[in-house]
Amino acid sequence: MILETRHLKTFFPIKGGVFHKVENHVKAVNDVSLEVREGEIVSIVGESGCGKSTLGFSILGLTPVTSGEIYLAGQGIDIRNLNAWKPFRKDFQIIFQDPFTSLNPRHTIYRILSEPLLVHKIYTQKQVREGVAHLLEQVGLTADYMERFPHAFSGGQRQRIAIARAIGVNPRLIVCDEVVSALDVSVQAQIVRLLLELRKKMGLTLLFITHDLSLVKVISDRVYVMYLGKVLESEPAKALFENPQHPYTEALLNSIPTLDRSKRPKILEGEVSSPVNLPKGCLFQSRCPYSQERCGENHPDLVSRKSGQVACYFPL
């Protein structure tokens, strides 16, 4: 197992009053357990604000974790010590959503790509320029671009540079945080194709964080569905799209646009509960068409069912 989390929680304190005491917490990630096997493409899906990006940042130690366990390549992480992630930085990389803000505008592409290569001793100072040129070629760019600054590139080109930075240290797993959502539709397919080619060539494991279910269906081996910081369902991709078990998953799949005019997308109605004051029972009960009295008592546990797991008293 290359990645595993157990009962992971990431809460953000809300302070108030004269003395700025902690009055409550935003429960962004609330008791999440997941597994990623080497070589897999695992996707985490859900509506905006469900906590999927925070989960990705927490796994890599970019956001302080409140409690739980994280295992990277089988080794436990001391979540109270941010330096505990340091030995794993080379093997676990991330590609951020916005390629412009993730690249330092004051640095040339050469400096952006050469710095991690030198820090992790992939190349010597004499070899690094050749290494940067090779990285740019791997992502479909030319070596002539290395002396330019990020503002000189299009969104798709900047994302290619971000991908080059991530693969430069020969990682084992890459967290892809909404890597195509900030790009034009015409460019999205090119970036996804590039990632899949690099995955095959380098033997990468990919953890995709996205809300694009059409993309998830094509590329994923397994899928985790999140809602208000919790996993409501986890299944192999094929099983999830053919026979969803949770009403929320069903609602997400029904919202996917199609070319069939007789099957119009169904928009999920109702308001999402606050991640500060969560409802007592099932988190999805206020929007669920199948909700019953029992759903208001306690949030259901994630239990094994058929090919995966589902947190629902009355699964489909």
Is 197 in the same domain as 167? yes
Is 118 in the same domain as 178? yes
231 within some domain: yes
Side-chain half-sphere of 179: how many Cα atoms within 13 Å? 31
Q: Cβ neighbours of residue 89 under 8 Å, at least 6 residues apart?
A: 120
Confidence of residue 70 (pLDDT cuts 50, 70, 90): very high
Is 36 in the same domain as 106? no
> If you average pLDDT over residues 86-102, what whole number do you get?
92
Is 151 in the same domain as 241? no
Is 118 in the same domain as 154? yes
288 within some domain: yes
Predicted pLDDT of residue 203:
94
- Residue pLDDT, tens place only, 270-286: 788 889 999 889 999 98
Answer yes or no: is pLDDT of 44 > 90: yes
Predicted pLDDT of residue 69:
97
Is 136 in the same domain as 183? yes
Q: Cβ neighbours of residue 50 under 8 Å, at least 6 residues apart?
A: 226, 227, 228, 229
> If you average pLDDT over residues 41-50, what whole number do you get?
93
39 within some domain: yes
> If you average pLDDT over residues 150-176, what whole number do you get?
95
Domain-terminating residue out of 171, 191, 211: 211
Q: Cβ neighbours of residue 180 under 8 Å, at least 6 residues apart?
A: 159, 187, 188, 191, 192, 210, 212, 215
Answer yes or no: is pLDDT of 255 > 90: no
Is 244 in the same domain as 308? yes
- Rounded CA-CA distance 222/209 in Å is 12
- Structural domains of the chain, count: 2
- Rounded CA-CA distance 45/231 in Å is 10
Any idea of the CA torsion for 47, 48, 51, 53, to the nearest 10 degrees? 120
Is 59 in the same domain as 112? no
Predicted pLDDT of residue 6:
96
- Residue pLDDT, tens place only, 200-209: 999 999 999 9
pTM value is 0.93
Confidence of residue 268 (pLDDT cuts 50, 70, 90): confident
Mean pLDDT for the chain? 92
- Residue pLDDT, tens place only, 10-34: 999 998 888 888 889 999 999 999 9
- Residue pLDDT, tens place only, 184-218: 888 999 999 999 999 999 999 999 999 889 889 99
**Domain around 41:** 7-67+221-316
